[in-house]
Structure 1
C-alpha cells in the first residue's frame, strides 16, 4: 500500500485508477483499507477542486414536488394560497421565513437551499 496525498491532477488520476483496481476488495483486508483511505483522499480532492454548489431554491422545490408526485395545489396547501404557490414557482414572490419553514418540513428540502437568493 503506497498511499500519498493527492496534490495534482496526475495524482488524482492515479488514485482513481488504483481505486478501480481494488474496487471489489474485502473489508478489513489490506486492499480494503487502502480502498477506504483512497476514497477519503479522492473525496477531499474533489471537494476542493470540483465543488458542487447548492441548487436553485425554486428548482429544488419543483424537483422535490415532482419526486413526491405533488402538483401546484399540494404546494398551495403548504404555503396557504394557490396564487401564492403560482407566484413562488414563477419567481414572482420571494420565500418568507414562514414559507421556508413550511417547505422544509413538507418537502424535506434543506433550509440552506431554500434561504438562498434567486
Structure 2
C-alpha cells in the first residue's frame, strides 16, 4: 500500500519524488494507520487492530527516528521564544515554526498538544 501511495504521488506530480516528498507520503500513511488503529480499538475489532499494528511497525522502519516528548517540548519552547509568543493566540505562528523542524519525526497530534500546553503555561 505504501508503494502504491508513492507511485500515485509520483504520477500526480509527473516526476520522481524527492526525499522530502517521500517522507510526506510515509507520514501520511502512518497517520492514516494510527487513526484507523484508534477507531478499530474503539469498535473492539481486535482482528483489525492486530493487522494495523503490524502495518504501523512496517511503516516505522522507513520513517526517521521519532523525537521523544522532551525533544518535542524543547523545540516548541524554542519556537515560542523565537516568535515572542505571549498567549495561545500565537498558536499558528508557533506551529508554523515547529512543524518544518519535526516533519516526519513526530506525530502532528502530539506536537499540537505540546504547543497548546506550553502556550497555556505562559
* TM-score (normalizing by structure 2): 0.28
Q: Which one has a bigger Cα radius of gyration?
A: 1
* TM-score (normalizing by structure 1): 0.29
